[in-house]
Amino acid sequence: MDNTDVSPKIHTDDQTRRLYANDASSYEELPKGVAFPSSTQDIVAIVKQAQKEGESITPRGAGTSLAGQTTGEGIVIDVGRHMNSIQQINSEQQWAQVQPGVIRDSLNRETDQYNLEFGPDTATTNRCMLGGMIGNNSCGIFSIKHKTTREHILEIDAVLSDGSRATFKPLTQQELAKKQKLDTLEGYIYREIISLIRENRDQILEHYPHPDIIRRNTGYALDRLCEMQPFVPDGRKFNMAELLCGSEGTLAMTTSAKVNLVPQDPESVIVVPHFSSIRKALEATSEVVKMDPAAAELVDHIILNATKDNIEQRKNRFFLDGEPHCILIIQFDGNDQQKLIRKAQKMARHLQEQSLSNSAPIITDDKKKERVWNLRKAGLGLLMGLGSEGRTPSFCEDTAVRVSDLPDYIDDFQQILDRHDTNCVFYAHASVGELHLRPQIDLQQPEGIQKMKTMAGEIAELVCSYCGSLSGEHGDGRARAPYIEKVLGSEMMPLLKRVKQIWDTHGIFNYGKITSPKPLEEDLRYSPSYQKPEIDTQFNWRKEDSFGNALELCNGAGVCRKLSDSGGTMCPSYMATKEEKDSTRGRANLFRQLFSGKQQEAFQSEELKDALDLCLSCKACKSECPANVDMARMKAEFTQGWHNKHGISLGERFFAQAAKLYPLANLFPNLSNWIIKQPVVKELLQQFLGIDKRRNLPQFAEETFMDWFNTRPTTNPAAGEEVVLLIDIFTNYHEPHIGKAAVQFLEFYGYKVTVPDFHEVGRPQISKGMLTHAKNILNQNLPKLTSFADRGLPIIGLEPSEILTLRDEYIDLCDDDQLEQAQFVADHSFTFEEFAAEILNKNNQPSSSPKKEKVYIHGHCHTKSLIGNSAIKKLLTRAGFQPIVLDTGCCGMAGSFGYEEDHYDVSMDIGKLRLFPALHNLPEDTTICAPGFSCRHQIMDGTGRTASHPAEILMD
């Protein structure tokens, strides 16, 4: 394709093509190019060009499809990058006009002011887009209440396969007659579809899934058209938009949609019955749906067990009573919470009387309810993070039957599993007869491929026997299209192909999805031909068993693509740029593709180096990613490999080895401070070291902490218990007052403070990918640290990233014969906040303030990811303050990242997303707490506000 003649540009570089080769499914197809249209006119131009040159088009939003709908070998059109405008909200008539790239939660944040919402609530609502929801006819957790996207789409503006435009909406009989007379592709579509339905209506209704099944999305929605006028005189007005819902982008390209908004229910209550078996849970579901719940979701023991090993989801297990085999999460909505509580209690009693459940916690607190649903929504990602042995390909996870049939259906399904000697995860939408069933199969073995194919056929036949739907909401795509015939019958296939031909004569839209599919086993991400990376690394990758396994953790669910408004920290660079290459998923896909192909040579990949450039190594992905992808560690490993061939730049050496330069600068601190402020020096620093001249470098203290500590008079000679206080180079040279405050606090409570003779643990070196240097530091420090731990001494750190390096990277960076020591040291290591909180707790410290002062906390990224903010909240509460943890994400500084010329703008953009606005809104005399050195300096640079370390606040 001649890119110069196409508007918008079709990106055909290898990096972009690799980034769009995967979605959240089992498939991987390298497209010929990727386009990012800004308007309907752009889409029209692309469609006309594709038709002229015989290229296929794959529409794509967030790329969270599970059946392979958004992978294709032609041109991928990403509508999310630019076509993401909410064009109009009409609160009186309760509708909104949106472009296809609008994220569902973003729409609901705007409509919240009117107490309205777009109802369908998938597990991916913080990143999935309305165009994708239309394409898949998405439903989600509350489908028993809101049904499917189809019920909420009023009109669709679309580009047809010849590049013409049309609007599909409800039509009167007279309007329909006019449409059929049009001498255009639109008119042809109306004439032919009406004729097809008229000739085959009885046959369609006979072969399609049972109408009682809310989630029926197999093939094209011809059964829905059969319910409309003119075929049913008192039926709904004829609306082709209902056919486009669930058509997976195979018929037309959505450019805008008018969607229905529904009133929010002000109150809700959650009840969580626990069960000893899946059968009991499903029998209970038949009872539950009689009480009109808004949702009833099944979560089985495999997912519940997976939450134990996920840092983020461990916190959301609070409501579990023991170790249930499975649970139902049931929500009741309404106007009166007391009535809802009574309903929940009545249901719990009824299930107990039926000997189905003996425990059913009721949750009414809004934040706790959110945590319950967050655990449920993490289900898929948790499953895909279980490693290769627990991998569950998504070839049959979307079947739906009537709720009353569900217990027997699952028993029959279990027989198929037993016959093939495999296990299955059971979870999701029990209230509407759909469970996400994901058998554990290793597709990297030839027998695994054969097992999947055989089971897919048997499951399709089972679904047919129950008049069920092969796809409830995730679509047919690549995974289920080959088996539609088994469910709907051979009589229906010519009709489906006819629909495709009517709309898309030349087959340019998402070819091979729904009709004319490739075999199930083609283009799999993992297959017997997959070459597992076997790489020499510096980290040992002990939890994952190998670097190759670590590269396979990402499942494509795209949690890293959520925007800043959705909260959390992952992934700060994507939140700022909204480019796939800056997401954890994008980087992880490049890692896997390149290393599985080039093996050790991939360490020299320019593509990967570019994608990692804006990674802040914040570690948010280690906890917020359901699969626990640790991109910070992967970046460090790659960067070390890059250094091995290309060397280390002067700027990288400066930031990573500042400890060697600081003693020189500190000989004359006032002079050093004057020099680094001079414009000419700033220019030189920018030119030679890449330090952005717009930044103010930290000032050197006139007296270092160590000078003070070693010369001060002993204030507590009778001190009892000894503690070790790690003083990092930033505290020693730049902010010794923080170290002084920490010593004074510890000594006040009777501790004898010992300060080691080193200031580095290797954090800057790890961040810069200088792992051999970091390992040398580890080798020097570990014996000293072990000697402290052997004596039972707590090892306390003031800088979160430094002390947490002992608990995180040291465990994997050390050699096998050092592992026991490293783990022992980690067990004795504490952040200042953790240890100080325990001191106050042990001393039963009362509040000394008659009126509690509010302290606003910006948490450090590594703290949030690895241990959470509970310690700092506990500390400040115990000290008599009222702590308020701000949801400010990443500050954007991330060590040296924000100081670097190439990163300054992105660094500030990240700060502007949430941190800076949150602080600007606080009164001038507010106390701001930020344990991180970089965070405090970013706050000063971005807002002019002073933030304090917890030790300072305690001593003040």
Q: What is the pLDDT of residues 772-785, one digit of tens each?
A: 999 999 999 999 99
- Span 494-511, mean pLDDT? 97
* 3-state class (DSSP) for residue 735: coil
Per-residue pLDDT band at 380 (split at 50, 70, 90): low
Per-residue pLDDT band at 659 (split at 50, 70, 90): confident
**Does the pLDDT at position 409 exceed 90?**
yes
**Does the pLDDT at position 348 exceed 50?**
yes
Fold observed for domain 3-78? 3.30.43
**Confidence (pLDDT) at 387:** 55
Q: Is the peptide bond before 883 cis (omega within 30 degrees of 0)?
A: no
Three-state SS for 774-839 is HHHHHHHHHHHHHHHHHCCCCEEECCHHHHHHHHCHHHHHCCHHHHHHHHHHHHCEEEHHHHHHHH
**Does the pLDDT at position 335 exceed 50?**
yes
Per-residue pLDDT band at 1 (split at 50, 70, 90): very low
Per-residue pLDDT band at 2 (split at 50, 70, 90): very low
**Confidence (pLDDT) at 846:** 59
Other beta carbons within 10 Å of 756: 16
d(CA 860, CA 864): 6
Extract the tokens encoding 139: 């439903």
Q: Greater confidence, 151 or 921?
A: 151
**Does the pLDDT at position 386 exceed 80?**
no
**Does the pLDDT at position 100 exceed 90?**
yes
**Confidence (pLDDT) at 308:** 86
SS3 content of the chain, % helix, strand, coil (to 5): 50, 15, 40
- Span 688-703, mean pLDDT? 95
Of 359-363, 637-641, 921-925, least confident by mean pLDDT is 921-925
**Does the pLDDT at position 338 exceed 80?**
yes
- Span 390-402, mean pLDDT? 87
> Domain 847-955 carries which CATH code?
3.40.50
Please list the residues that pair with 121 across neighbouring strands.
140
Of 323-332, 838-847, 908-917, least confident by mean pLDDT is 838-847
CA-only gyration radius of the chain, Å: 30
**Confidence (pLDDT) at 713:** 81
- Span 411-427, mean pLDDT? 94
d(CA 778, CA 785): 10
Please list the residues that pair with 33 across neighbouring strands.
75
- Span 275-304, mean pLDDT? 94
Question: With contact defined as beta carbons under 8 Å apart, do 378 and 626 qualify?
Answer: yes
d(CA 383, CA 66): 13
Per-residue pLDDT band at 715 (split at 50, 70, 90): low
Question: With contact defined as beta carbons under 8 Å apart, do 374 and 311 qualify?
Answer: no
- The CATH architecture assigned to 272-384 reads 2-Layer Sandwich (3.30)
- Span 43-63, mean pLDDT? 95
d(CA 932, CA 953): 14
- What are φ and ψ of residue 857, in 5° steps? -105, 125
AA letter at 556: G
Give the CA count within 13 Å in the CB-facing half-sphere of 797. Answer: 27
Please count the residues of the chain.
Answer: 956
d(CA 741, CA 727): 12
* Model pTM score: 0.93
Per-residue pLDDT band at 5 (split at 50, 70, 90): very low
d(CA 696, CA 681): 12
- Span 425-452, mean pLDDT? 92
d(CA 571, CA 85): 22
The residues, any chain, with a CB within 8 Å of residue 670's CB and separated by 6 or more, are 702
Note the Cα 141 to chain centre separation in Å.
17
Q: Can you give the residue ranges of every domain in the chain?
A: 3-78, 86-263, 272-384, 547-638, 656-836, 847-955
Per-residue pLDDT band at 4 (split at 50, 70, 90): very low
Q: Rounded mean pLDDT of the chain?
A: 94
Fold observed for domain 86-263? 3.30.465
Of 194-208, 700-714, 722-736, least confident by mean pLDDT is 700-714
pLDDT (tens digit, 9 = 90+) per residue, 790-841?
A: 999 999 999 999 999 999 999 999 999 999 999 999 999 999 999 999 999 9
Of 206-210, 400-404, 713-717, least confident by mean pLDDT is 713-717
- Span 174-188, mean pLDDT? 98
